[in-house]
């Protein structure tokens, strides 16, 4: 592989105009496609195989034309102090608002609070529910404006009016903090390279790669039913790995220049060595992201595949466009050790080289491996303690900031009708095979009334055929509580008994039941997913490092960092530690997708640093250095650039903490803290300590396996002859 990539690097350096033209053309094509593509609607959220999804599909079949997947809005009214919603003046205002709401072309129906008995017992709060033909993201601006205007008219009449539901759903924004993350990355690159040109190369190539990836996702969003979070995730990961991959190749290029090689030769060797590490690091990230498809949640699968595609583009750009731009930069990118005039720290020719910080740190770890190993493991273990209290759920209006009308409507409904009112359960009774459907409907309602934590059970509402009915159940506790989860299971257990007696199917759905089913499905898929992803990456790393213990150590180190990161997420988003600093206005359960998502993404990113750092160590070991000295050599060449890469990745991820979308905010924080733990504790401390303790055993591989494995030559051993073979170069 190293020889092939070496040739590719030299070809890209020499044919830089052609390579740059190809990537600019791809960027332009993707941009035009994104601009001309139809606007994407709200990504459908389906969970195949779950009871909640089966009930939803049954509703679509048995209650046609009800727009079960359409947007809804709850317009909540509160009377002024000392008044009630039943007072004539307030009642007239509500009636007029309901009339205004009914005029919209996309409105299916509007419930009158007084006819639907949607007035609180104390008479101070009422609500009208608006159902639309299309989803919240597909709802046109005129319909949203009409909804807001109707509420404003009621406010001017003296009522407090807030709007809940998904009708006002908007595309999330990330805020200026995302730009700050890129700015931090730029500063780190300037400090690392001491040159604006060298620092600009990774940023430019990463932005081009992300531009192509995100534009392609935007162009295909409508056709493939991709949500807004898909492009955000692709941007987040694409920026991080794109900068890092280019950083490693530019850094190796400067190291090759420092050894006296010509620029074209240096570019070829940089791509042949560091580029090999980029390929395998990218493969681990792609495996982890594509592996999310085993969970069988379409939205998660699409997010993973889209992000994986962006990572693949980042790898290709690093291998081709980076050497092409190095050809354009010429002598403006200086050899390693020459900081140039920018930072004023250029090394004099006769000045002896001092051990850098990476060398000094590695030497210390090699001398004190047990102490460093214990300190690192204990520290990560302490950070992981909060993860034992992990509670999972999906965000609803209750997790919105208190400044939003959705959150205020949520609180008003809780005040007037109880906390469970915001998470009603819909029970679907399929009595098509029953002799007496009406009796089955009545029996089901009676069974549910006898369960704990049930406040209200509405009469069954049958369809036109009379063989299927819906029953709405209002729990006594809030949607994300364990008590509500127990109630869902209680209704399903009762439904199993009804089916045994009558043959009718009783299914529970609704957003609350769907959230519970999602959490359970994700929990069930976590172990198989972990085995699949870690197993495939383990085999890949055996090929890269030609060792058994090094990949095993890499996987165990990852488990430490991901558990510590989950502990930090629980502490901030569930317990509320530093929540003000992170902009978390409402604590609550951690997003259900977070554990499995972090396992996938963090594993891929963790292996990046493992590959980049340890391949340098193996390269030194293969070239004859003793194991302990190889660790120090690896840090001398790789610690600075790995540190810079980790800081850049943390800055990019942390930039998404400013997002208005709670899921994006949590993912940004979780990935940033995970990179910190993995890069600076696991890879910079635990890894060299373990390798120092293992010695030559770290690189042990059974002879039969050594013969069976392909030789990918990540260390670039084959380049010693390839670089001098003019005939080979003539064929490139």
Using CA atoms, how far apart are residues 353 and 338, in angstroms rounded to an integer? 12
For residue 479, what are its two tokens? 């949607």
Query: Cβ distance 125 to 76 under 8 Å?
Result: yes
Residue 476 is given by DSSP the state S
Q: How far is CA 605 from CA 91, 373, 409, in A?
A: 59, 22, 40
The region of weakest confidence among 119-133, 175-189, 371-385, 668-682 is 175-189
At residue 225, does pLDDT exceed 70? no
The region of weakest confidence among 1-15, 163-177, 225-239, 399-413 is 163-177
Mean pLDDT of 680-691: 91
Mean pLDDT of 551-579: 87
Q: Note the pLDDT of residue 731.
A: 35
Q: What percent of the chain has pLDDT over 70?
A: 88
Residue for token pair 């209704």: 491
Q: What percent of the chain has pLDDT over 90?
A: 19
At residue 192, does pLDDT exceed 50? yes
Using CA atoms, how far apart are residues 634 and 654, in angstroms rounded to an integer? 28
∠ CA 241-242-243, nearest 5°, is: 90
Q: Predicted confidence band at 726 (pLDDT cuts at 50, 70, 90)?
A: very low
More confident residue, 67 or 320: 320
Greatest distance between any 2 Cα atoms in the chain: 99
Judged by phi (left if over 0) then psi (alpha if -120 to 50, else beta), residue 117 lies in left
At residue 363, does pLDDT exceed 80? yes
Query: Cβ distance 71 to 165 under 8 Å?
Result: yes
At residue 173, does pLDDT exceed 70? no
Q: Note the pLDDT of residue 340.
A: 47
Query: Cβ distance 397 to 163 under 8 Å?
Result: no
Specify which of 7-21, 470-484, 497-511, 638-652 reaches the highest per-range mean pLDDT: 7-21
Using CA atoms, how far apart are residues 477 and 413, in angstroms rounded to an integer? 13
The region of weakest confidence among 205-214, 269-278, 600-609 is 600-609
Q: What is the pLDDT of residues 471-504, one digit of tens each?
A: 989 898 888 778 888 999 999 999 888 888 888 8
For residue 615, what are its two tokens? 């391949």
Q: Predicted confidence band at 716 (pLDDT cuts at 50, 70, 90)?
A: low
Mean pLDDT of 574-584: 78
Query: Cβ distance 71 to 134 under 8 Å?
Result: yes
Q: Note the pLDDT of residue 353.
A: 56
Q: What is the mean pLDDT of the chain?
A: 83
Distance between the two ends of the chain, CA-based, in angstroms? 15
Q: Note the pLDDT of residue 725.
A: 44
Note the pTM of the prediction, 2 decimals: 0.77
Other beta carbons within 10 Å of 331 = 9
Using CA atoms, how far apart are residues 243 and 278, in angstroms rounded to an integer? 12
Q: Note the pLDDT of residue 229.
A: 67
């Amino acid at each position: 592989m190293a020889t092939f990539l070496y040739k590719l690097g030299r070809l890209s350096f020499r044919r830089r105009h052609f390579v740059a033209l190809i990537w600019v053309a791809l960027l332009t094509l993707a941009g035009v496609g994104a601009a001309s593509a139809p606007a994407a609607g709200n990504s459908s959220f389906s969970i195949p195989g779950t009871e909640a999804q089966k009930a939803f599909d049954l509703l679509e079949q048995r209650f046609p034309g009800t727009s079960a997947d359409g947007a809804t809005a709850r317009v909540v009214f509160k009377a002024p102090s000392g008044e009630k919603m039943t007072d004539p003046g307030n009642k007239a205002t509500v009636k007029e608002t309901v009339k205004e709401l009914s005029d919209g072309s996309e409105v299916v129906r509007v419930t009158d609070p007084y006819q639907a008995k949607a007035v609180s017992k104390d008479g101070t709060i009422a609500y009208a529910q608006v159902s639309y033909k299309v989803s919240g993201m597909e709802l046109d601006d005129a319909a949203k404006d009409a909804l807001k205007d109707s509420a404003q008219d009621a406010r001017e009449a003296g009522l407090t009016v807030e709007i809940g539901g998904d009708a006002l759903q908007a595309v999330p924004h990330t805020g200026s903090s995302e730009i700050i993350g890129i700015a931090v990355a730029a500063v780190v690159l300037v400090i690392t390279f001491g040159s604006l040109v060298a620092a600009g190369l990774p940023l430019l190539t990463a932005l081009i790669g992300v531009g192509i990836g995100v534009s392609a996702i935007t162009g295909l969003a409508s056709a493939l039913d991709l949500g807004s979070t898909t492009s955000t995730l692709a941007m987040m990961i694409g920026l991080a790995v794109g900068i890092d991959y280019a950083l490693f190749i530019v850094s190796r290029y400067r190291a090759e220049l420092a050894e006296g090689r010509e620029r074209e030769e240096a570019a070829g060797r940089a791509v042949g060595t560091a580029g090999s590490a980029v390929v395998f690091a990218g493969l681990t990230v792609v495996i982890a992201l594509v592996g999310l498809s085993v969970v069988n949640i379409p939205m998660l699968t699409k997010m993973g595949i889209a992000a994986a595609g962006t990572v693949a583009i980042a790898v290709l750009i690093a291998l081709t466009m980076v050497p092409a731009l190095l050809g354009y930069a010429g002598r403006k990118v200086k050899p390693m050790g020459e900081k140039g005039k920018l930072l004023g720290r250029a090394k004099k020719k006769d000045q002896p080289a001092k051990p850098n910080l990476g060398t000094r740190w590695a030497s210390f770890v090699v001398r004190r491996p047990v102490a460093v190993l214990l300190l690192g493991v204990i520290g990560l273990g302490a950070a992981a303690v909060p993860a034992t209290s992990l509670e999972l759920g999906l965000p609803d209006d209750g997790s919105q900031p208190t400044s939003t009308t959705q959150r205020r409507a949520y609180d008003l409904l809780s005040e007037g009708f109880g906390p469970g009112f915001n998470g009603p359960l819909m029970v679907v009774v399929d009595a098509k095979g029953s002799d007496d459907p009406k009796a089955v409907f009545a029996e089901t309602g009676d069974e549910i009334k006898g369960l704990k934590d049930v406040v209200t059970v509405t009469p069954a509402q049958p369809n036109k055929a009379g063989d299927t009915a819906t029953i709405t159940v209002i729990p006594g506790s809030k949607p994300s509580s364990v008590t509500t989860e127990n109630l869902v299971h209680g209704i399903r257990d009762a439904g199993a008994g009804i089916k045994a007696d009558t043959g009718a199917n009783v299914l529970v759905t609704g957003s609350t039941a769907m959230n519970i089913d999602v959490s359970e499905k994700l929990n069930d898929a976590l172990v198989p997913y972990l085995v699949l992803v870690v197993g495939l990456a383990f085999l890949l790393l055996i090929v890269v490092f030609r060792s058994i213990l090094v990949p095993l150590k890499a996987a165990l180190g990852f488990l430490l960092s991901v558990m510590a990161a989950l502990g930090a997420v629980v502490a901030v988003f569930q317990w509320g530690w530093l929540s003000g600093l992170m902009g978390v206005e409402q604590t609550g359960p951690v997003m259900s997708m977070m554990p499995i998502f972090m396992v996938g993404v963090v594993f891929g990113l963790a292996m990046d640093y493992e590959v980049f750092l340890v391949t340098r160590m193996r390269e030194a070991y293969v070239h004859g250095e003793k194991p302990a000295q190889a660790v120090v050599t690896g840090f001398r060449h790789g610690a600075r650039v790995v540190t810079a890469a980790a800081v850049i990745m943390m800055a990019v991820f942390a930039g998404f903490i400013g997002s208005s979308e709670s899921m994006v905010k949590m993912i940004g924080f979780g990935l940033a803290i995970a990179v910190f733990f993995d890069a600076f504790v696991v890879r910079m401390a635990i890894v060299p300590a373990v390798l120092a303790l293992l010695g030559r055993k770290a690189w042990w591989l059974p002879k039969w396996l050594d013969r069976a494995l392909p030789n990918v030559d990540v260390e670039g051993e084959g380049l010693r002859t390839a670089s001098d073979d003019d005939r080979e170069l003539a064929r490139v």
